[in-house]
């Protein structure tokens, strides 16, 4: 029984590892350890200084002085994407009488004046109707002359007792009926003249031709389906306006008569003065917006209906005795009342500048005292600052 136990112990001993024979681990040089420790110390020191607020990183902007336009300094308070529209929207010119289209006398893009001929319909049928009306009038006048003479003779014979009273009354009625026939013929002649005149479609006012809706040779008829008799669509360029949708939360910034500026997307270097003339009386429930309309004061040939444009509402910047109007972001203003101030950055240090604020323009505020414009100001919510503290400007190199 002892031999199996001895054999088992011998096998366990053979499986045991000799720790003394393992290779020793290689240690890094002392200079590398020292260099790593120094780098860690520098990083830790920098983090500690920032954490302690000794070199805060601040975001800055400059106090601005808006340039006056046309002698008036204005500040934008709201801006949105809109469109240029005609005051009358589109003017569709349709036929008053049925007829075949003979020719167009204006093309798309042509600028036309009020009363200018645009379309000619086939006028032969209406010329014939006019001739028939003229002939009917001549016939009615001839009959009237005849009945008048017959009435005169009947009156003379009635005085001599040759013609009875009853026959005289008949002659009188015939003469009156003939005169009425002349009136009817004259009215029909005027109607035929009007119908003939309607074969020429004319521009109701000055504008530009936008589209021709039918081709030469087609039959145009008045009425019927909506727009089936329309031949030409034009726009009034005497009164161009801008339309933009303003959200309900921004409505307090817009009022009737307020100044505005329009910049077409196609010509970003052109600016047009405008003013608010209409606030539509109903909010769009789905969008939560109200449509606002501004009138362009001096439109020119660069503006076209349905052109997209940027519409900016502005407010005048009040000045005090000719002093420059200085604007700063709202986030640059600290404190309230007499304790209002701003942090100005100069030569890498901040200084506290007492200021007096004026009108509120939404994201910007007017400073009436304390700043001359061009100062670098701290914006946002930096760490607590103190007078003369060294700061680092975000993004500076």
Instruction: Between 152 and 49, name the one with better pLDDT.
Output: 152
- Per-residue model confidence (pLDDT) at position 40: 72
Residues 115 and 211 in one domain: yes
**Which of 276, 299, 316 is where one domain is finished?**
316
The angle that helices 165-197 and 124-159 make with each other, rounded to 10 degrees, is 160
Report pLDDT digits (tens) over 121-153.
999 999 999 999 999 999 999 999 998 898 888
Order the strands of the 326-329 sheet from edge to edge. 326-329, 364-369, 356-360
- Per-residue model confidence (pLDDT) at position 279: 92
Residue 40 lies in a domain: no
Residues 101 and 226 in one domain: yes
Residue 39 lies in a domain: no
The mean pLDDT of the chain is: 82
The enclosing domain of 118 has a CATH number of: 2.40.50.100
The enclosing domain of 151 has a CATH number of: 1.10.287.470
Q: Which residue has the tokens 């590398």?
A: 32
CA–CA dist 184, 240 (Å, integer): 47
Q: Which structural domain range is residue 97 located in?
A: 90-122+203-238
pLDDT band for position 265 (50/70/90)?
very high
Judged against a pLDDT cut of 90, whether residue 169 lies above it is answered with no
CA–CA dist 126, 99 (Å, integer): 10
CA–CA dist 342, 338 (Å, integer): 12
Residue 223 lies in a domain: yes
Cβ atoms of residues 313 and 359 within 8 Å: no
Buried b (16+ CB within 10 A) or exposed e, 339-366: ebbbbbbeeeebbebebebbeebeebbb
Residue 309 lies in a domain: yes
Determine phi and psi for 261, rounding to 5 degrees.
-140, 135
- Per-residue model confidence (pLDDT) at position 53: 47
Residues 311 and 360 in one domain: no
Cβ atoms of residues 391 and 57 within 8 Å: yes
Cβ atoms of residues 314 and 351 within 8 Å: no
Cβ atoms of residues 170 and 229 within 8 Å: no
Residues 270 and 369 in one domain: no
Angstrom distances, CA of residue 62 to CA of 132, 353, 379, 395: 84, 14, 10, 15
Residues 82 and 95 in one domain: no
Residue 5 lies in a domain: no
- Per-residue model confidence (pLDDT) at position 237: 79
Q: Which residue has the tokens 């003479």?
A: 149
Residues 193 and 144 in one domain: yes
Determine phi and psi for 78, rounding to 5 degrees.
-160, 140
Give the pair of three-digit tokens for residue 344.
């100005």
Residues 115 and 214 in one domain: yes
Instruction: Check: pTM over 0.85? Answer yes or no.
Output: no
Judged against a pLDDT cut of 50, whether residue 107 lies above it is answered with yes
First-to-final CA distance of the chain? 87
Residues 290 and 335 in one domain: no
Instruction: Between 374 and 262, name the one with better pLDDT.
Output: 262
The number of distinct structural domains making up the chain is 4
CA–CA dist 204, 249 (Å, integer): 41
Average pLDDT score over residue span 309-330: 77
The enclosing domain of 351 has a CATH number of: 2.40.420.20
Residues 231 and 96 in one domain: yes
Residue 329 lies in a domain: yes
CA–CA dist 1, 10 (Å, integer): 15
Residue 51 lies in a domain: no
Give the pair of three-digit tokens for residue 241.
């306006």
Residue 42 lies in a domain: no
Residues 310 and 363 in one domain: no
Residues 174 and 225 in one domain: no
Residues 208 and 179 in one domain: no
Nearest to 290 by CA among 302, 273, 278: 278
Buried b (16+ CB within 10 A) or exposed e, 239-250: ebbbbbebeeeb
- Per-residue model confidence (pLDDT) at position 162: 82
């Amino acid at each position: 029984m002892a031999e199996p136990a001895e054999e088992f112990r011998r096998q366990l001993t053979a499986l045991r590892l000799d720790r003394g024979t393992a290779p020793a681990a290689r240690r890094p040089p002392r200079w590398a350890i020292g260099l790593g420790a120094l780098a860690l110390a520098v990083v830790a020191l920098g983090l500690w200084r920032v954490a302690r607020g000794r070199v805060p990183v601040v975001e800055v902007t400059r106090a601005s002085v808006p340039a006056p336009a046309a002698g008036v300094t204005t500040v934008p308070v709201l801006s949105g994407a809109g469109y240029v529209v005609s005051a009358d929207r589109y003017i569709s010119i349709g036929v008053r009488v049925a007829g075949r289209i003979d020719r167009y006398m204006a093309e798309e893009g042509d600028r036309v004046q009020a009363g200018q001929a645009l379309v000619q319909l086939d006028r032969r049928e209406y010329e014939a109707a006019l001739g028939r009306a003229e002939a009917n009038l001549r016939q009615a006048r001839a009959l009237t002359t005849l009945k008048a003479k017959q009435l005169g003779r009947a009156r003379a014979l009635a005085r001599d007792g040759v013609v009875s009273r009853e026959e005289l009354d008949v002659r009188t009625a015939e003469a009156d009926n003939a005169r009425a026939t002349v009136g009817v013929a004259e009215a029909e002649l005027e109607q035929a003249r009007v119908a003939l005149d309607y074969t020429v479609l004319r521009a109701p006012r000055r504008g530009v031709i936008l589209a021709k809706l039918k081709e030469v040779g087609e039959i145009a008829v008045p009425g019927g389906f909506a727009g089936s008799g329309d031949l030409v669509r034009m726009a009034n360029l005497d009164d161009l306006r801008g339309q933009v949708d303003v959200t309900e939360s921004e409505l307090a910034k817009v009022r009737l008569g307020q100044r505005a500026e329009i910049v077409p997307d196609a010509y970003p270097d052109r600016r047009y003065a405008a003013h608010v003339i209409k606030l539509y009386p109903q909010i769009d429930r789905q969008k939560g917006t109200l449509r606002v309309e501004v009138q362009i004061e001096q439109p020119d040939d660069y503006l076209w209906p349905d052109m997209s444009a940027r519409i900016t509402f502005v407010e005048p910047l009040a000045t005090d005795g000719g002093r420059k109007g200085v604007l700063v972001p709202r986030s640059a203003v600290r404190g309230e009342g007499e304790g209002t101030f701003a942090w100005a950055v100069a030569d890498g240090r901040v200084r506290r500048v007492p200021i007096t604020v004026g009108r509120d323009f939404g994201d910007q505020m007017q400073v009436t005292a304390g700043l001359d414009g061009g100062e670098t100001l701290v914006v946002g919510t930096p760490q607590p600052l103190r007078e003369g503290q060294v700061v680092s400007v975000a993004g500076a190199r």
